[in-house]
Amino acid sequence: MQFQFTPIGYIHSCYKDRFGTPRQPHLAPDSWAVLKLRPEFNLREALDGLEGFSHLWLIFVFHRNTNRTVKAKVHPPRLGGAKIGVFSTRSPHRPNPIGLSAVRLERIEGNELFLSGVDLIEGTPVLDIKPYLPAADSHPEARGGWADERADTRMPVSFAPEALASLETWLDRLGRGPEHLERLKRLIVQTIQLDPRANCYKGTPDEPHPYTDAYGFLLEDFNIVFQLVDDGALVVAADPWTL
C-alpha cells in the first residue's frame, strides 16, 4: 500500500546546499526561508488565522538525498562515528524521507510565508503546514535518550580581514544596509560554530584534515570558506557565487 502526496509549496532558503545546513532549526536563529505556496489553493482562505501563531510545523521531503538504499543504522554527527538506529535519529536517510521542523513564522504576504530559525535547503518541497500548539506539542520534560548526553558543542568563529572586507563590499554593491551585514555575520557564526563537517572529514589528532583543510558552503549570495585553526574556525573567504 502506498500513499501519494503533492507538495503544497516550495522553500526558498538562505541555505543553498546540504553542506552547512543545520541539523535542527533552532540551532541557527538568524537563518531564514520563504515558503512559497502553490497559487492554485485558495490561499487567503486556507491561511486565515495562521498569522496568530508564532511557530509552525513544516512537514517536508528530504529532496536532496542521494542514497538509493536506506541503512538500518546511521552515524549522527553528535555520536562522532558511532552508529545508532535510524528511527532514534532525525537523519534525512530514513525509510520515508520525510522531514519535520518547528520554525518561527515572521509574517505572511500573499502566498509567501516568511520563516526564521530553519534547517531547510533551497527548493525543499513542503507537504503540510500545521500550527504549533504548545499544549499538544511542547514537552520540555521529555527524556531525550542518547541525544541528551550529547549536547551540541560550539566552537569560536572569527573572520579574516579579507573575508569581512569582501562581505562589506559586495553587500554594499547589492544595496544591502549595515543591519544585513550584522545579521549575516551572526548567521555565519551560528552555522559554522556547530561544525557542519561530516564525521569522516573531522580526522584524528594525528591527521586532523584527511581530505581538505578548507570547507565552503553557500549562504545567501556568498560562498563562505572556513578553516579550522587552534580550537576554532576562521572564515577565510566570502565571495559572491550569484554574480
Binding site for a second copy (CB under 8 A): 1-8, 24-26, 41-43, 45-55, 57, 59, 61, 72-73, 83-90, 94-96, 98, 100-102, 125, 127-148, 152
Q: What one-letter code names the amino acid at 152? A: D
The CA–CA distances, whole Å, from 196 to 17, 70, 85, 215, 236 equal 12, 22, 21, 9, 16
Nearer to a second copy among residue 3 and residue 230 (C-beta): 3
| Shortest distance (Å) from residue 152 CB to a second copy | 8
| Shortest distance (Å) from residue 94 CB to a second copy | 6
Residue 24, C-alpha cell as written in the block? 535542527
Nearer to a second copy among residue 62 and residue 159 (C-beta): 62
| Shortest distance (Å) from residue 56 CB to a second copy | 9
Nearer to a second copy among residue 46 and residue 165 (C-beta): 46
Helix (H) or strand (E) run with residue 7 in it: none
The CA–CA distances, whole Å, from 233 to 11, 22, 114, 194 equal 29, 16, 30, 10
Nearer to a second copy among residue 54 and residue 242 (C-beta): 54
| Shortest distance (Å) from residue 82 CB to a second copy | 10
Helix (H) or strand (E) run with residue 162 in it: helix 161-173
What is the chain's length? 243
